[in-house]
Every structure is written in structure tokens, then in C-alpha cells.
Amino acid sequence: MNIPSFGLGTFRLKDQTVIDSVTNALEVGYRAIDTAQIYGNEAEIGQALSASPVSRDQLFLTSKIWTDNYAADKLIPSLKDSLHKLRTDYLDLTLIHWPSPGNAVPVAEFMGALAQAQQQGLTRQIGVSNFTIALMREAIDAVGSDRIATNQIELHPYLQNKKVVAFAREHDIAITSYMTLGYGKVLQDPVVQAIAQRLQATPAQVVLAWALHSGFAVIPSSTNRAHLQSNLAAQQLQLSDADMAAMAALDRNERITSPEGLAPEWDD
């Protein structure tokens, strides 16, 4: 199964907030949910999913292994714990969340453990997140490019990560964009606002449509039902070649997320 192009992100959503967000998202038509061990919301998402009439086989669930659990003897037990919290027997996609800080656990070790989890049926697909070209090369050497479903990276009009995208595409690795709306900053851009006005769309719809037309999967989050519906409608928005070119010209290598101790040496 291909990674759905549109899903719900749950970063920073906790407790009843994440339950409501997932419940509303499922009700308005979302079928892909993205979470992570470090988000601390897997159990609440599991609660929302189990209360929903949407059956498990209609859903695409993604979670990410945290850095503390990369060692070969820890990764699979931690994934089983995530499955228990999410009230499911398997994930559709399991990602390595960040490179191992200080290379404490070699890429070959955690990718090997992740491939083993896939062989055991604990996850249908595997992939990585926040990986540079050098790290993707190591992951490919460890398990082969055909095993790596996606690299989930910060990607928005102000940070288009073109080198990483080009390398991933050369190896048939899909790109999932997170922070597609640039924490709202991109929505204030005059170029985005002008396109939105002309198309009678919201700035968020324009940015999401740009990412989708660029071939990226997106996982915007929202706690507002109307915004969830509005974001989903971005899939129907048609941008012209001129619109796409104007959006491409906004790239300025402006990175929002680069946590100290976790971030690798980024490709400029």
C-alpha cells in the first residue's frame, strides 16, 4: 500500500485535545494518522481509534521510534509497547524519528532491527525521518532502498530541501513533508495570499496543494474541525504552472526545527 498523500499530524497534541482532533478528523474523512513515541499521545490516539466506527483496515497508522529505543534489543519491544497503546496488532508505517545522537547506535543496527520488525509483521512498511543524504545512504546500505518507504522531513515553501528530495527520488524513496505550513509563517507570505485570493482558497489550502502537486505526502495537524475539513479540501485545489513556479521561488533555506543534540549536519 502506498503512503497516503494526506494524513493527520498529532505533534504537540495531548490528552483530550488529541482524542478530539483524531475523532473529528476521522469523521470528516481522514484515514491516515501520524504519531510518535515521544509525542506521548499514542494511548489517547488508540482510545479515539477504538471508539471510531472506521475499521482498522481502512486506516493508515504511522508512528516513530524514539532515539532511546534504537538498540537492537530495545527497538522491537518498544514498538510492541506502541502497538499496545494504539490498540492495534500492526502499524502501516514505522519510522526512525531522528538520527541516533552522536551515532550512539549505528544506522545498520537500528535499520536492521526495524527490518526485523517488518518481517515479524509488526509493521507493514518502514522508513526514516530527518535523514540527510549521507544518512539515507547508510540506511540504503543496511536494508536496500526498496525497503525504505519514506523520509519524513521538514519541508515547506521556505525550506524546500531540494538536494534531499532529489536524492530520495533517485532511489524511489517517497518524501513526507512535515511543518508544511511553516508554523503558520508561510501563510502570511504575500505570494501565497495572492494565489489564495485569486483561487478563493485559504492560504493553508494553497500551501498544501503546492506540496501535493510537488509529489509530497502531507500531515498537517489541527484541533479545529472546520480547519481539518478545509485542509482536506486542498486535495481538490488546482494550481497553475505559474503558481507552482511562484511558490518554488519562495525557497530560502529557512529551517524551523533543528534541535540541539538531535539534528544531523543538514544538507544545504
Looking at the chain, how many residues does it have? 268
Q: How far is residue 62's CA from residue 125's CA, in Å, rounded to a whole number?
A: 9
Angle (CA) 238-128-109 rounded to 5° is 170
Q: Where are the beta strands (DSSP E) in 108-215?
A: 123-129, 148-154, 174-178
How far is the C-alpha of 117 from the C-alpha of 80, rounded, in Å? 9
- Which H or E element spans position 32? strand 32-34
Q: What is the DSSP letter of 20?
A: H
- Whole-number Å distance between alpha carbons of 150 and 127: 5
128 contacts 151 by C-beta, under 8 angstroms: yes
In whole angstroms, give the CA distance from residue 65 to residue 13: 18
Catalytic one of 30, 39, 70, 178 = 39
Tell me if residue 159 falls in helix, strand or coil: strand
Q: Is 70 part of the annotated catalytic residue set?
A: no
Q: Answer for the pair 237, 200: CB distance below 8 angstroms, yes or no.
A: no
Q: Does 213 belong to an annotated binding site?
A: no
Distances (CA, A) of 238 to 134, 182, 199, 225: 35, 21, 9, 23
Question: Which three cell numbers, joined as nine digits, stand for 110?
Answer: 537500528
Report yes or no: 91 and 124 within 8 Å, Cβ to Cβ: yes
Whole-angstrom CA distances from 174 to 4, 207, 208 are 11, 19, 16
Binding residues: 97
Please identify every residue annotated as catalytic. Answer: 39
Binding residues for substrate: 97
